[in-house]
Amino acid sequence: MDTPANDHHPATPARRALDTLAENTEDTAALDTLASSDVLIPVPDDANDQESADPGMLALPVLEQQGGRQVVPVFTSELEMADLLPYVSRYRMVPLGALAAQWPADDLSLSIDAGSEHRLTLTSDGVRSLLARP
């Protein structure tokens, strides 16, 4: 395995795709792998049990960053999520491509594994054009 000895996160296909995209954002194989991967979406504390269980309804957690930019954090593993958001107790697993296909048209960004060195943050246009696969 090509990961450092102190790296306690498994090298999942999604993580390897993120590593590849950090070097080459045009790598279509990595984009396809990422789009077909499941991601963990934290369930907001104010979402009720019905909303968090209904497969047709998905409440997105929105974090506001410096400068007022809004971003939705998603994660490739429980370990990645726990590193950045240790207080999250509930999450949904969703195919990233399906999420991207329904991404809102506003200025909402998507951040994949935001707390890691292989993170990827995309604008709303980038989410829809790069990750929404047919």
For position 66, which CATH number holds? 3.40.1350
Residues 19-43: what's their mean pLDDT?
91
- Tell whether the model's pLDDT for residue 52 goes beyond 60: no
| pTM, entire model | 0.82
How many domains is the chain partitioned into structurally?
Answer: 1
Give the structural domain span for 66: 13-131
pLDDT at res. 6: 43
**Would 1 be classed as within a structural domain?**
no
**Would 6 be classed as within a structural domain?**
no
Type of residue found at 57:
M
Residues 36-57: what's their mean pLDDT?
73
- Tell whether the model's pLDDT for residue 79 goes beyond 80: yes
Type of residue found at 51:
E
Q: Considering only CA atoms, which of 97, 122, 105, 123 is closest in space to residue 35?
A: 97
Cβ(62)–Cβ(111) below 8 Å: no
